[in-house]
Amino acid sequence: MHDIRHIRENPDAFDSGLRSRGLDLLSSELIGLDDARRAAISALQMEQERRNALSGEIGRAKKAKDEARARELMDEVARLKVYVPELEEAERRAKKALDDRLAEIPNLPGPDVPEGPDETGNVLLHDWGTPVAIANAKQHFELGEAWRVDNGTAMDFDAAAKLSGSRFVVLRGQLAKLERALGQFMLDLHTTEHGYTEVSPPLMVREEAMFGTAQLPKFRDDQFGAGITLSRTEQNRRLDRITELATPELVAIGELDVLDLVGKSHWLIPTAEVPLTNLVRESILSEDELPLRFTALTPCFRAEAGAAGRDTRGMLRQHQFTKCELVSVTAPENSKAEHERMLGCAEEVLKRLDLPYRVMTLCTGDMGFASAKTWDIEVWMPGQGTYREISSCSVCCDFQARRMNARYRPKDGKGPRFVHTLNGSGVAVGRALIAVLENGQQPDGSVAVPSALRPYMGGLERIGGGT
C-alpha cells in the first residue's frame, strides 16, 4: 500500500515508477480522491464543532431563562443529529474510495531495477554449475510415468484427475519419499545453518491476511476460497432469499450460485508467505527483535487462473504443490543486505543438490505486485533443455507493512516506523523434484539421488528405472 502523503509530496517520482512498470500515471487521480476525503473530513469537523458550540449556547440560554432561544438552538441540534451521520458516511465513502484505489496499485520498483516490458527485459546476475549434457534426455513426467508402483505409476496424473481434476498429481513409492526428503532437507538446512525459525502455520487464512501480503483484492481469481462465516440473522435472511429464488434441486445443479450469496470467509494459502509475514501484522516490535526470520514447509494452493494452456503436462504448474518458504522482517536500512542474504540461502539448496542454475534480476515489467526488487533463481531442466524458475526472492520495502500495519520502535526513541518485509522460496519442492529427476536421469531410466538427500532416503543412491 502506498502512502498518500508521499504521493502528494512526490507526484512526479510516483508517476515515473508507475511508468517504468508500463502503467498509467495516477498521481493526479489519487490526489483528487484525497482532496475529496479531506473535504469530507473538514465538513464533518465543522458540523461537529458547530454541534458542540450549540450545546454550550443551549446551556447559557436556559440559564438566562430564554426558552425561545433554547428551543431554536435545540431544533438546530436536532437537525445536526440527522446531518452529521450523513457527513460521517460521506467521509467513510471518500476514505474507502481512496483506500480501494491505493490497494490496486503495485509497489514501485527500486532504483536499481532494470526497465523492461516483460521477461525479455530480465538481466542475468550470475550462474552456477554446468548444465548436464544428456543424450535423449527425458522430461520428468516421462521418467515418473514409466515407473510402476503397485497398481499404478510413481507419478500418476490419471489417478489424480479422478480424485481432483487436472493440475494435480499422485506420487507413489520412492517418488513420494523423494518429495518428503527434499522438504526435510530444505527445512534442516535453513533452520540449522541459516538461522531461520521453523513455523507450522495455518493453511487457511482470513481475508485480512491475504490483503496484507497483497494477494487480495487484485488477484482474487488466482486464489481458492473456502468456508462461510455469517451471523445467524444473516444466514436466515439469505436462506429465505435462496428459497424465493430457486428450489433445492435447482441450487444443487448449479442454477443458483449459493457461494455468491453467502461469500467466503477463509482462503487456502497460495504460499506460506501469507501466514508467515502476517505474524507481525498489527504489532509494534522493538528494533532489538529485528531481524525476524521464518521458514515453513507447507502445501500451497493456486487456481492458476491465468495459466490456461501453459505447462499442461507434468508437475510444473499445479493447483497444489509443496514449497519451503523464507520470510524476513527487518529495519529499513537492513533490507538490502537481508535480500542478498536470503538469495544466498536459497542458492545453497541448489548447490547442495548439485543442480545447475542461474539468477535473473527481474525487470520492471516482470516483477510481482508487492515487490520492489526480485531475483529469480532458474534451475536447469535437461528434459526441456532450458532453465525454469524454482525460487523468487523479493524485497517489498514497507509496501506490505502498511497493508498489515506492522511497525517497529527504533532505538533512537523516535516514533514507530514501518518494517520492511522480504520473502523467497527456499525452494519449491515440486520443481526441485523435477530438477533432481531430469538432471540425475541414467541410461537405464533410474535416477541418481544427490548425496545431500541420501540420509533422508535411507541411503539409497538410485531410485526408479531398473533399480
What pLDDT does residue 238 have? 55
Rounded Cα distance between 177 and 456, Å, is 9
Residue that terminates a domain, selected from 74, 103, 132: 103
CATH number of the domain bearing residue 68:
1.10.287.40
The angle subtended at Cα 99 by Cα 238 and Cα 304, nearest 5°, is 65
Residue 90 maps to a domain: yes
Rounded Cα distance between 309 and 166, Å, is 12
Residue 114 maps to a domain: no
Q: Are 191 and 273 within one domain?
A: yes
Q: Are 326 and 450 within one domain?
A: yes
Surface-to-core class of residue 247, CB atoms within 10 Å of its CB (0-12 exposed, 13-18 middle, 19+ buried): exposed
pTM of the model as a whole: 0.87
What pLDDT does residue 235 have? 56
What pLDDT does residue 240 have? 63
Q: Are 320 and 458 within one domain?
A: yes
Q: Are 15 and 67 within one domain?
A: yes
Q: Are 398 and 305 within one domain?
A: yes
Rounded Cα distance between 22 and 401, Å, is 25
Residue 175 maps to a domain: yes
Q: Are 307 and 402 within one domain?
A: yes
Residues in the chain: 467
Q: Are strands 266-268 and 373-381 parallel, antiparallel or unpaired?
A: unpaired
Residue 222 maps to a domain: no
Rounded Cα distance between 1 and 404, Å, is 9
Q: Provide the residue type at 442 as one letter.
A: Q
Torsion over CA of 101, 107, 111 and 114, rounded to 10 degrees? Answer: -110
pLDDT tens, position by position, 259-292: 444 455 789 999 999 999 999 999 999 999 999 9
Rounded Cα distance between 464 and 177, Å, is 12
Around 400, how many Cα atoms within 13 Å sit in the side-chain half-sphere?
A: 37
What pLDDT does residue 69 have? 78
What pLDDT does residue 233 have? 64
Residue 210 maps to a domain: no
Question: Cα–Cα distances in Å, from 373 out to 18, 336, 361, 365?
Answer: 14, 10, 8, 11
Contact 286, 202 (CB under 8 A): no
Rounded Cα distance between 389 and 138, Å, is 19
Q: Are 10 and 96 within one domain?
A: yes
The angle subtended at Cα 125 by Cα 119 and Cα 128, nearest 5°, is 110
Q: Are 312 and 450 within one domain?
A: yes
Task: Map the chain to HEC letters.
Answer: CCCHHHHHHCHHHHHHHHHHCCCCCCHHHHHHHHHHHHHHHHHHHHHHHHHHHHHHHHHHHHHCCCHHHHHHHHHHHHHHHHHHHHHHHHHHHHHHHHHHHHHCCCCCCCCCCCCCCCHHHCEEEEEECCCCCCCCCCCHHHHHHHCEECCEECEEHHHHHHHHCCCCCEECHHHHHHHHHHHHHHHHHHHHCCCCEECCCCCEEEHHHHHHCCCCCCCHHHCCEECCCCCHHHHHHHHHHHHHHCCHHHHHCCCCCHHHHHCCCEEECCCCHHHHHHHHCCEEEEHHHCCEEEEEEEEEECCCCCCCCCCCCCCCCCCEEEEEEEEEEECHHHHHHHHHHHHHHHHHHHHHCCCCEEEEECCCCCCCCCCCEEEEEEEEECCCCEEEEEEEEEECCCHHHHHHCEEEECCCCCCCEECEEEEEEEEEHHHHHHHHHHHHECCCCCEECCHHHHHHHCCCCEECCCC
Residue that terminates a domain, selected from 73, 103, 133: 103
Residue 348 maps to a domain: yes
What Rg value do the Cα atoms of the chain yield, rounded?
28
Q: Which three cell numbers stand for residue 140?
A: 520428468
Q: Are 241 and 273 within one domain?
A: no
What pLDDT does residue 254 have? 42
Residue 304 maps to a domain: yes
What pLDDT does residue 60 have? 79
Rounded Cα distance between 412 and 226, Å, is 45
Q: Are 325 and 350 within one domain?
A: yes
Question: Which residue's entry shows cell 496484507?
Answer: 212
Q: Are 444 and 331 within one domain?
A: yes
Residue that terminates a domain, selected from 79, 103, 127: 103
Q: Which three cell numbers stand for residue 70?
A: 433554547
CATH number of the domain bearing residue 390:
3.30.930.10
Q: State which residues of the chain have pLDDT below 70.
A: 227-264, 305-311, 466-467
CA distance from start to end of the chain: 54
Question: Looking at the 3D structure of the chain, how many domains does it have?
Answer: 3
Domain span at residue 72 reads 4-103
Q: Are 307 and 405 within one domain?
A: yes
Q: Provide the residue type at 283 as one letter.
A: S
What pLDDT does residue 239 have? 58
Q: Which three cell numbers stand for residue 395?
A: 524485497
The angle subtended at Cα 274 by Cα 112 and Cα 24, nearest 5°, is 45
Residue 219 maps to a domain: no
Q: For residue 83, what are the contacts with CB-CB under 8 A and spacing of at least 6?
A: 47
Of the candidates 143, 168, 165, the one whose C-alpha atom is nearest the C-alpha of residue 154 is 143
